[in-house]
């Protein structure tokens, strides 16, 4: 059983067509046909039922398709990570973070990293929700900053900071101070907010704010990119809610008015990390 055979199998299980699959895999139909047959014979399992016109997965084949797809991905990702370990300190580390900390926490960290490890390449990615956990589980990411509090047994974590939320307003907006924030005024506003998702602490905190005024926001634009939101607010297209730390960007024509809601930021990394570089960089968090 080879990883090649497994990926051939997965490809055919997707396409259910020998010629088409073999074309995509850059091999001949004959080679594919034989490899599948070899796999079936080695495992002593019928994977496909095939007539000269139709290819279908057997139930055992369908089971293996579902099981092997993530397994093969995991094998490859461990290999990639082992390569990184093998190369040593000149390697790359992958940091996932919410856009909102791109202006303070991340530059801070990167400054320290590049000072101590000038040759290290840092890759920044922004995924969210369940995908962040997949990222660090599959060794595709090394450090994760998240607003969400995870309780797992394979990660170590540290609370990095707690940040106030602020209303983000155009310079000349009618809301001037906290006392101006009342139900009636909020209901007249149009909001530019990030994608609000269930089970996401950040989203939930924002919703708690509106709930405290017994209202729901009228959302006119949705964006997950801080700078986009700031520009839209500046253009008078609506108001927003963002972590107060965004005010450090000094975006012109925009005011930040703190509200009594705050969100925490956590950093996560793998327990018993094998990559010495990652272990060292975690020290800087």
By the criterion CB under 8 A, which residues form the site for a second copy? 1-4, 43-46, 58-64, 66-68, 71, 74-75, 78-79, 81-83, 85-86, 274-276
Question: CA 233 to CA 235: how far, in whole Å?
Answer: 5
Output 11 or 220, the one with its CB closest to a second copy.
11
Residue 98 Cβ vs a second copy, minimum distance, rounded to whole Å: 24
Q: Which residue has the tokens 């609506």?
A: 238
| CB atoms inside a 10 Å sphere around CB 48 | 20
Residue 71 Cβ vs a second copy, minimum distance, rounded to whole Å: 6
Footprint on residues 14-73 left by DNA (CB under 7 A):
16-20, 26-31, 33-38, 50-55
Output 101 or 277, the one with its CB closest to a second copy.
277
Output 22 or 146, the one with its CB closest to DNA.
22
Picked from DNA, a second copy, none, the partner binding residue 18 (CB below 5 to 8 A depending on kind) is DNA
Residue 44 Cβ vs DNA, minimum distance, rounded to whole Å: 15
CA distances to 6, 53, 250 from 90, rounded to whole Å, are 33, 53, 35
Picked from DNA, a second copy, none, the partner binding residue 162 (CB below 5 to 8 A depending on kind) is none
Output 61 or 99, the one with its CB closest to a second copy.
61
Question: CA 114 to CA 92: how far, in whole Å?
Answer: 12
Report whether 9 contacts 22 (CB < 8 A): no
Q: What are φ and ψ of residue 219, in 5° steps?
A: -90, 120
Residue 183 Cβ vs a second copy, minimum distance, rounded to whole Å: 39
Question: CA 69 to CA 23: how far, in whole Å?
Answer: 20
Output 20 or 215, the one with its CB closest to DNA.
20
Q: Both tokens of residue 18?
A: 């020998």
Residue 40 Cβ vs DNA, minimum distance, rounded to whole Å: 9
Question: CA 232 to CA 209: how far, in whole Å?
Answer: 21
Output 10 or 181, the one with its CB closest to DNA.
10
Specify burial of residue 71 (Cβ count, 10 A radius: 0-12, 13-18, 19+): exposed
Picked from a second copy, DNA, none, the partner binding residue 67 (CB below 5 to 8 A depending on kind) is a second copy
Q: Both tokens of residue 88?
A: 């040593």
Q: Which residue has the tokens 């495992």?
A: 43
Picked from a second copy, DNA, none, the partner binding residue 64 (CB below 5 to 8 A depending on kind) is a second copy
CA distances to 56, 84, 115, 180, 281 from 277, rounded to whole Å, are 47, 10, 14, 50, 6
Residue 225 Cβ vs DNA, minimum distance, rounded to whole Å: 45
Output 26 or 162, the one with its CB closest to a second copy.
26
Interacting residues toward DNA by CB under 7 A: 2, 4, 16-20, 26-31, 33-38, 50-55
């Amino acid at each position: 059983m080879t990883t090649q055979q497994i990926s051939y199998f997965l490809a055919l299980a997707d396409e259910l067509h020998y010629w088409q699959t073999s074309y995509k895999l850059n091999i001949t139909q004959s080679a594919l046909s034989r490899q599948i047959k070899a796999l079936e014979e080695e495992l002593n399992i019928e994977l496909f039922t095939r007539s000269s016109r139709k290819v279908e997965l057997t139930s055992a084949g369908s089971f293996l398709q579902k099981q092997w797809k993530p397994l093969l991905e995991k094998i490859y990702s461990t290999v990639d990570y082992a390569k990184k370990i093998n190369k040593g300190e000149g390697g790359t580390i992958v940091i996932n973070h919410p856009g909102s900390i791109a202006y303070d926490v991340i530059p801070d960290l990167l400054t320290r990293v590049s000072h101590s490890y000038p040759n290290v390449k840092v890759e920044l990615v922004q995924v969210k929700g369940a995908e962040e956990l997949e990222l660090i589980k599959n060794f595709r990411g090394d450090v994760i900053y998240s607003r969400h509090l995870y309780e797992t047994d394979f990660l170590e974590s540290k609370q990095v900071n707690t940040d106030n939320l602020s209303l983000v307003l155009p310079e000349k907006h009618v809301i001037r101070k906290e006392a101006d924030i009342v139900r009636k005024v909020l209901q007249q506003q149009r909001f530019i907010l990030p994608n609000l998702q269930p089970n996401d602490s950040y989203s939930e905190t924002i919703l708690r704010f509106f709930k405290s005024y017994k209202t729901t926001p009228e959302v006119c634009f949705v964006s997950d990119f801080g700078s986009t939101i700031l520009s839209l607010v500046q253009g008078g297209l609506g108001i927003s809610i963002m972590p107060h730390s965004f005010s450090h960007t000094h975006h012109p024509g925009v005011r930040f008015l703190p509200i009594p809601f705050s969100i925490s930021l956590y950093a996560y990394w793998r327990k018993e990390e094998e990559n010495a570089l990652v272990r060292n960089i975690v020290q800087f968090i």
